[in-house]
Structure 1
Amino acid sequence: MQRLEKLLEDAGIKLSAAVSDLMGVSSRAMLQALIDRQNDPQVLADLAKRWMRSKIPELGQALTGRFREHHAFLTRLYLDQYDQLTSAIKQLTVRVEEAMAPFRPVLDLLDTIPGVNRAVVEVKVIVAETGGDMARFASAKNLASWAGLCPGHHESAGKVRSTRVRPGNAHLKGALGMAAFGTARTKGSYLQARYKRLTARRGPMRALIAVEHSTITAIWHMLTDNVAYHELGGNYFIRRDPERAARRAVTRLNELGYRVTLDPMEATG
């Protein structure tokens, strides 16, 4: 699709600026007409379907260009490649679903993790790479180490030289990274709170790795004990150490130029 978009721009056709889906019904009709050597922008724009017809004036301008035989040949080639790949993806999707059928209980458990959906590819990769069986890993630490999510430890003369994570299963690590993006965006969750808390001190990349580590640790316990994910809540760190949370809040307000006096509220029955 990117190659097709670049080719159209080379011909002065700005179709992608006027439509949200370059492979949508209206776009495909216009592209086919261009391939058939129809160069009238108004005729092309009139091929718009349904709600796209409200954008006919804009489409007319976007379809004004220098679309030649060379562009028609490559456009046809790219469309055929897109259709072939789309067909292959559909076949593979069906095959993957068939292969995942025996692991439905495992997928159901993983689906309880905030931000992780059983429909996404990452969940299936996690199951495929671990086999869905935690018996082969003695502990959550063993699984995290195998996934490459345990920091390396190089200490000399009492000084830590490196804390980089070690190499691990690239496929599993990549899937956990994508899953961590989802969990870190889930409002009100413990994993989002952990991500935000660490981002302030260690930066987003290290915070994301920490979320990946927490996720794979949770997965080990869930699949080992056959239990759903236990959500600790977005206020977990505040509940765990309210005095520290209060000090951090006061410090931030002081940095903004405010003088804060704490007056504890009386507990209500």
Structure 2
Amino acid sequence: MSRFPTVKHLAAWSGVAPGNRESAGKNKPEKSRKGNKYLKAVLVQAAHSLHRKKNCHLREQYQRIKARRGSKKAAVAVAHIILRIVFYLLTRKEMYQELGANYVSEKTKNSQIQRYVKELAKLGLVIPNALVDQQLANSV
């Protein structure tokens, strides 16, 4: 992995980096670049196979992107995520920790709670920290 200074270099080399084209200040969709076709094929195949896995963070990512963009673009996006995970696991010499299917929804819920508490404080309503901490603990 020392050949690639950052994960972005590896993603560009493998061909799963998202395409980028800007015109008149607007980001336009673009094909991903050509890269290592064997690595890209394996990563996309692994991403496609995730729709059968239960209680998996990557499956939920695939389903969310698939609903908006379609299955093939979702597969390339999840292949990019898989490659990033592999890069960081190899460079940091760590084991993979599955986040679970509801990781993103819980993270979103916690951030919404904190944002609403700040908004209520701006309006003059003070919520005790113990109540906020209890709600955040219940959501996890």
Fold-level match, TM-score > 0.5? yes
Does 2:56 correspond to 1:189? Answer: yes
Look up the SS of the partner of 2:27 in the other structure: strand
One-letter code of the match for 1:198? I
Does 2:16 correspond to 1:138? Answer: no
For residues 163 and 181 of structure 1, the distance between their equivalents in structure 2, rounded to whole angstroms, comes to: 21
Deviation, 1:243, is 7.6
Aligned residues: 114
Specify every segment of 5 or more residues in structure 2 that has no aligned partner in the other structure, as ranges. Answer: 113-134
Deviation, 1:244, is 9.3
Deviation, 1:172, is 0.7
For residues 173 and 183 of structure 1, the distance between their equivalents in structure 2, rounded to whole angstroms, comes to: 16
Look up the SS of the partner of 1:136 in the other structure: coil
Specify every segment of 5 or more residues in structure 1 that has no aligned partner in the other structure, as ranges. Answer: 1-133, 246-265
For residues 160 and 239 of structure 1, the distance between their equivalents in structure 2, rounded to whole angstroms, comes to: 30
Match of 1:232 in 2: 99
Match of 2:88 in 1: 221
Structure 1 vs Structure 2: percent identity of aligned residues?
Answer: 39
For residues 243 and 222 of structure 1, the distance between their equivalents in structure 2, rounded to whole angstroms, comes to: 27
The equivalences for 1:73-222 within 5 A come to 134-222=1-89
Task: Quote the RMSD (CA, aligned, Å).
Answer: 2.1
For residues 142 and 204 of structure 1, the distance between their equivalents in structure 2, rounded to whole angstroms, comes to: 25
Contact residue 184 and residue 211 of structure 1 kept, 8 A: no
Structure-2-length-normalised TM-score: 0.73
Q: Deviations over 1:29-81 (max 9, x none)?
A: xxxxxxxxxxxxxxxxxxxxxxxxxxxxxxxxxxxxxxxxxxxxxxxxxxxxx
Q: Deviations over 1:244-266 (max 9, x none)?
A: 99xxxxxxxxxxxxxxxxxxxx8
Point out which structure has higher relative CO (alpha carbons under 8 A, 6+ apart). 2
One-letter code of the match for 1:241? T
